[in-house]
Amino acid sequence: MSNLTELIHSIPVDPQTGAIAVPIYQTSTFVQEAPGVNKGYDYARSNNPTREAAEKIIAKLEKGAVAAAFSSGLAAIDAVIKLLKSGDEIVAVDDIYGGAFRLFHKVYEKFGIKVTYVDTTDVQAVFQAITPATRLIWLETPTNPTLKISDIAAISEIAKANHCLLCVDNTFASPVLQQPITLGADLVVHSATKYLGGHSDIIAGIVVAKTQQLGEEIKFYQNATGAILSPFDSFLLIRGIETLPLRIRQHNANAIAIAQYLSEHPAVDKVFYPGLISHPGHELAKRQSKGFGGIISFTLKDDSIEAATAFVTSTKYFKLAESLGGVKSLLCHPATMTHKSIPAEKRWAAGVSDSLIRLSVGLEEVEDLIADLDHTFQSIQNVERKERVEVA
């Protein structure tokens, strides 16, 4: 579903009342006429009309058969891993979301699930990491925070040939830009906390399955383990999705202008943005997605924790916070925030240098955002000069 009219009108009018907004069915249970005779709902963990509406819209957006909504992105990832059993193996993208790494390493390893991490931008490396026990390939593309791009279609061929499932965490791209199922993925997950919700007001997760059968397995774990999305948060998610294509269009346009500005700034060393011709994944990103997204990372010529800290505490509109994908622009400093627990050597090897700053470009006027960055570059220059005078 790429058409905005189609998206807006796929959000159902309430059949009971004609309400144009999807009502919040804030109820735990549903009255039955006789045991097992009901209107399609019996208990709200198993199904709820508000959650069901959100799930149906997202299944359509991602071109899957079934979607299941969870109380967080991590709960969604957890439901996918529950498809596996002890002895199974996963081949995963090496710069995976930190919370997914923690879940795999600290929770599932002790149940006998082994994970091998590879640079999935190298299709051959994925192929070589597969063993007879591999059941699942796990991709994120683009990745956090260096926005590496992996070839979904090529890796789906490897997955099929080796009887593995391919799951893509599509949080950074959103289904407006990239639909992994159309490129051969079996499963898609989202932290709907980010672009799908889009307003920094919910924690939510989604799994979309390509087939009805796989979808039913995911729905089984959704009900059996119970980490469901609440009716109110489902309502907010639907409300966010109504404007998803418009928001993504503007996030993209703003990010392209800012990436260009940063790449020309004398205080900037590297810019990581798939929309720049200099990005190693540029051609692939152009081929498999309709745009380059709203996340940009960059490093400073003064590659120090101090310079980056001065920068991230001096902006006016870019607010210092973890998370991304909302209306308001955010920035974060991975070395001291999201990637703090990773040893420095390992962090540097992954391209996350001391001064790397990640921007989540919001929906403000792009001129104001660029002016904010410009003032900030000037103000941190002054900080440095002052220190040098003191030393002298």
**Does the annotation count 286 as an active-site position?**
no
Q: Which of 12, 23, 99, 351 binds ligand PLP (CB under 6 A)?
A: 99
Considering the complex, state which of residue 170 and residue 376 has its C-beta at the smaller distance from ligand PLP. Answer: 170
Residues 193-212 close enough to bind ligand PLP by CB under 6 A? 193-194, 203, 205
Question: Any bridge partners for residue 296, and if so which?
Answer: 359
Per the DSSP assignment, residues forming a β-bridge with 137 are 91, 166
CA dist 234 → 23, 98, 334 (Å): 10, 25, 30
Name the residue nearer to ligand PLP (CB basis): 191 or 234. 191
Binding flag, residue 227, ligand PLP (CB under 6 A): no
Euclidean distance between CA atoms 88 and 112, whole angstroms: 7
Q: In this chain, which stretch among 166-174, 207-215, 281-289, 382-390 interacts with ligand PLP, using CB under 6 A?
A: 166-174
The torsion angles phi and psi of 258, rounded to 5 degrees, stand at -70, -40
Q: Is 194 a catalytic residue?
A: yes
Measured between alpha carbons, how far is 58 from 179 in angstroms, rounded to an integer?
Answer: 11
Which of 31, 32, 14 has its CA nearest to residue 22? 14
Residue carrying the six token digits 């639909």: 179
Dihedral sign (CA 36, 40, 44, 47): positive
CB of 49 to ligand PLP, least distance (A): 23
User: Per the structure block, which two tokens stand in for 374?
Assistant: 């410009």
For ligand PLP (CB under 6 A), the number of binding residues is 15
| Closer residue to ligand PLP in complex, CB, 14/201 | 201
Is 41 an annotated catalytic residue? Answer: no
66-70 and 205-209: which strand pairing?
Answer: antiparallel
The residue to which tokens 């439901």 are assigned:
79
Q: Does 72 bind ligand PLP (CB under 6 A)?
A: yes
Residue number with CB closer to ligand PLP (144 or 309):
144
Is residue 70 a contact partner of residue 208, using CB atoms and an 8 Å limit?
Answer: no
Q: Is 151 a catalytic residue?
A: no
User: Interface mask (CB under 6 A) for ligand PLP, residues 121-160, using x and -?
Assistant: -------------------x---x----------------
* Residue 169 engages ligand PLP in binding (rule: CB under 6 A): yes
Q: Write out the catalytic residue numbers.
A: 45, 97, 169, 194
Question: Which residue ranges make up the site for ligand PLP (CB under 6 A)?
Answer: 72-74, 97, 99, 140, 144, 169, 171-172, 191, 193-194, 203, 205
